[in-house]
């Protein structure tokens, strides 16, 4: 099974904290990704790495520091590139479901990479497209599909 991570989840994994509540989210995401890595392949779509670079820079990282984090995540996780057909499929999602283009590009790239789950705090929890389900791993109730992967506790 393959699970994709949205840029917000990658930002927590990288330790980006913008408020006091983020410290708990960082700890939860780090523990979750560690557990998932034991049983699934984790994917960071190229678009999420680009968004993470911007977030890291805005949070005070130098360009070199931000690049190093991207390199670390790209080596730790699989990636999925965005191609012309990916962009066109994303445009179809925008038209059909009124999504933001960049979110649709992440969804399409994750689906193209064979992912069945996309972990995201910001996208619509429970949204399904092309066999890919968006799950908010920080929601109060753990989604059953995520719960099954991490052994029933959240």
- Give CA angle at 25 (23, 30), nearest 5°: 100
Over the stretch 25-57, which tens digit does the pLDDT of each residue have?
A: 999 999 999 999 999 999 999 999 999 999 999
How far is Cα 29 from Cα 38, in angstroms, rounded to an integer?
Answer: 14
Q: How far is CA 148 from the centre of its chain?
A: 19
Q: Which CATH class is domain 2-149?
A: alpha beta
Over the stretch 47-99, which tens digit does the pLDDT of each residue have?
A: 999 999 999 999 999 999 999 999 999 999 989 878 899 999 999 999 999 99
What's the pLDDT band for 152 if we cut at 50, 70, 90? low
């Amino acid at each position: 099974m393959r699970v994709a991570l949205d840029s917000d989840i990658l930002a927590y994994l990288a330790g980006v904290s913008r408020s006091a509540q983020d410290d708990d989210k960082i700890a939860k995401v780090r523990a979750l990704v560690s557990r998932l890595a034991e049983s699934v392949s984790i994917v960071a779509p190229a678009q999420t790495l680009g968004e993470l670079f911007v977030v890291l820079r805005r949070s005070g990282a130098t360009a070199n520091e931000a690049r190093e984090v991207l390199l670390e995540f790209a080596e730790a996780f699989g990636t999925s590139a965005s191609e012309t057909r990916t962009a066109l499929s994303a445009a179809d999602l925008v038209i059909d479901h009124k999504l933001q283009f960049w979110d649709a590009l992440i969804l399409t790239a994750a689906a193209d990479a064979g992912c069945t789950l996309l972990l995201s705090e910001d996208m619509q929890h429970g949204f399904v497209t092309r066999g890919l389900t968006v799950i908010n791993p920080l929601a109060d109730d753990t989604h059953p599909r995520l719960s099954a992967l991490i052994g029933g506790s959240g």
